[in-house]
Structure 1
Amino acid sequence: MTPEETRARLLYRDGLMLVIDKPAGVAVHRGPKGGASLEDDFEALRFGLPRNPALAHRLDRETAGCLVLGRHHKALEKLGLLFKQGKIAKTYWAVVAGAPDADEGSIDLPLGRLDEKRGWWMKVDPKGQPALTIWRVRGRGVWREAPVAWLELEPRTGRTHQLRVHCAAQGWPILGDPIYGARADVPLQLLARKVVVPLAKSAPAIEVEAPVPPHMRETLAACGFAEETMRKPAL
């Protein structure tokens, strides 16, 4: 992205933290084999500071939405501790294939590595690390002649691919997931919709929302989502 395009994706900025709207299909950092990543564009987000901001957490390459950056070392330490302690609330939107029987629930399934050859691929494993996801159905519909549902997901733990594996394990995989999901002919239908960051004890937590990306508008609309209604203030 150009510096202007990078800055246009900025959702929040203060002296400690930035939140940007990560585009889908872009790795947040260079992998072992190198290649382009979102970090390459962070110089455009210095805003007068001597060093680039840095990642406070990670999002999968295929996932769009809220990505938190620390603006300097002390900020990264503070944000890292908040993430580690589970004090930063994260809300995701997903469109899944199929339809959950209930309207809300929780998924409490431990996760472990699929095998040593696929270090980032995960599976439900009784001997794995605890993983908990809270979910709620926000809409149901039909897309391409098949039932789909729009879910709000809150991961209470931060395991690799947690939401993707948990949804697949319930029988309603996330659309566009090439590893665990269904309909790999579309981009992954997963959005990091909101983060809530309690940066200061003396001030309200900072809430930041990401807009719905273009590649999710059609499937969400099939489940009843309408962007114009989301912008209207509550009566």
Structure 2
Amino acid sequence: MTSTAKASAVIIGASGGIGGAFEAALLDEGAFDVVHGFARARSGAQHLDLLDEASIAAAAATVAEGPVPTLVIVATGILHDGDHGPEKALRDLDPDWLARVYAVNAIGPALVAKHFLPIMPRAGRTVFAALSARVGSIGDNRLGGWHGYRASKAALNMIVRNLAIEERRRNDRAIVVGLHPGTVDTALSRPFQGNVQAGRLFDAERAALQLLDVIEELKVADSGKLFDFEGKEVPF
């Protein structure tokens, strides 16, 4: 990342595979004065639970003490948990599971934006990025299934577009994007890695570095869009 004076970076979901790799890479690069890592699994000032807005607000208040954040990455998501997994058919729909998937994949990142975008600078280049997924693309959907995950990521994509429009009124150099990391060797993808083509399963460190390179190359005109790990736009 380009050197940034008196600025901080924020990683939401820093205890996860990709989130932890983002945090480690940014700390190693040393481009930011401070790198804040937040996660549900962490305690104290580093605790942030997407299902608890008060914890999101508290984390934002910690960051607001300075230096100002010019990069915020929401590296969170849920696809399966215990007995629940992505639905293969309508008969598998469960309202409680759908609500949880939406809460983590769409509502949580929206609440992070609610509290973190206002503390980002009103001038100069800033980036707010949230991990989305290619399967959330309506235009690219050829297989169906995975109802909750697909729909919640599609909802996140719409939130990204809305945020980009609103944030541009506050800072005309602000960039708000969704990022598709590909299939990464983490707990989220592990049950489904048998279907991944050879050479298309990435380790978390590689995925994080690829996405940081994508972020580095983003222009203001890219705001409100979804990009994959190669920097190619994914249709909504």
TM over 0.5: no
The structure that has the greater radius of gyration is 1
Q: Which has the higher strand share?
A: 1
